[in-house]
């Protein structure tokens, strides 16, 4: 409770600092007070258009995140458990991982157009690598004794991956999933900054061109709150899924 109150106090202090910052006529236009932003949020958030934009962004996030996670875990399991696969795919994966995701956006627009397919593909590309790296590291971190025991029991490659490597690597994989969620959330907005179609990013981009600054900040404020809620929900799910892990290391499940 004390930690939560301290966090709220820090957030409140940041808001007070924003609202009390001295403003010239120019800066007051581009950095409106909290009252103007709150008024814009009160008017904009309940509207059908804004709710539709939020739904479109969440749909793209869910589709891109699921695609990147499934692909990252599957390829990561194969790469981590097989030295031959690791030697074959490793250099290509490391090369693509070094490419900034924002640099892929123009290529995706050219190949797929400014549509859902492009945005979902960009999100999946960004989500893939944190999950892939976490999965490879988690599988490679399985102890030799565990690998030898699986071999003695005569488990096939698929059985080893599903019954031995995946459970052992799950804490590391979940850490990658959490990182990937934040990256995917950012990429949703970036992919929508083309200003075409719908989504929260499109809404913010259009308000900027309309010089509707309080409405733009209302959209940004909603993004911050939505990201915070998604992260908290993920932490709750993580604590439930990995309850056995936290119990083993002596950390209570909250």
Mean pLDDT of 45-56: 92
Mean pLDDT of 37-57: 91
pLDDT at 219: 92
Listed range (1-5, 131-135, 233-237, 248-252) with the worst mean pLDDT: 248-252
pLDDT tens readout for residues 54-77: 999 999 999 999 999 999 999 999
Q: Are residues 169 and 138 in contact, defined by beta-carbon separation less than 8 angstroms?
A: yes
Superfamily of domain 32-247: MetI-like (1.10.3720.10)
What one-character-per-residue DSSP string does 151-212 give? HHTT--HHHHIIIIIHHHHHHHHHHHHHHHHHHHHHHHHHHHTT--SSSHHHHHHHHHHTT-
Listed range (36-40, 81-85, 151-155, 207-211) with the worst mean pLDDT: 151-155
pLDDT at 226: 92
pTM across the whole model? 0.86
> How far are the Cα atoms of 149, 193, 215, 220 from residue 38, in angstroms, in the given order?
60, 23, 9, 12
pLDDT above 70 as % of the chain: 89
pLDDT tens readout for residues 170-213: 889 999 999 999 999 999 998 888 767 788 998 998 888 888 88
Locate the domains of the chain by residue range: 32-247
Listed range (11-15, 18-22, 58-62, 88-92) with the worst mean pLDDT: 18-22
pLDDT tens readout for residues 77-116: 989 888 888 888 888 888 988 888 888 888 888 888 778 8
């Amino acid at each position: 409770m004390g930690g939560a109150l301290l966090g709220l106090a820090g957030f409140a202090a940041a808001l007070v600092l924003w609202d009390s910052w001295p403003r010239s006529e120019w800066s007051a236009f581009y950095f409106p007070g909290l009252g103007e932003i709150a008024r814009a949020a009160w008017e904009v958030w309940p509207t059908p258009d804004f709710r539709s934009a939020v739904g479109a962004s969440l749909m793209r996030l869910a589709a891109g995140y699921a695609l990147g996670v499934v692909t990252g875990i599957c390829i990561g399991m194969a790469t981590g458990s097989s030295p031959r696969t690791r030697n074959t795919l490793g250099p290509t994966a490391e090369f693509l991982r070094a490419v900034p995701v924002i640099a892929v956006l123009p290529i995706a627009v050219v190949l797929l157009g400014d549509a859902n397919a492009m945005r979902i593909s960009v999100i999946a590309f960004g989500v893939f690598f944190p999950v892939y790296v976490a999965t490879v590291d988690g599988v490679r971190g399985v102890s030799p004794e565990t690998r030898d025991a699986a071999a003695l029991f005569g488990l096939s490659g698929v059985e080893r991956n599903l019954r031995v490597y995946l459970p052992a690597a799950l804490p590391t994989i979940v850490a990658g999933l959490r990182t990937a969620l934040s990256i995917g959330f950012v990429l949703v907005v970036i992919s929508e900054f083309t200003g075409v179609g719908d989504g929260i990013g499109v809404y913010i981009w259009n308000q900027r061109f309309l010089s509707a600054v309080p409405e733009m900040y209302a959209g940004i404020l909603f993004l911050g709150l939505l990201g915070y809620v998604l992260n908290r929900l993920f932490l709750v799910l993580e604590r439930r899924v990995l309850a056995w892990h936290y119990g083993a290391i002596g950390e209570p499940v909250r």
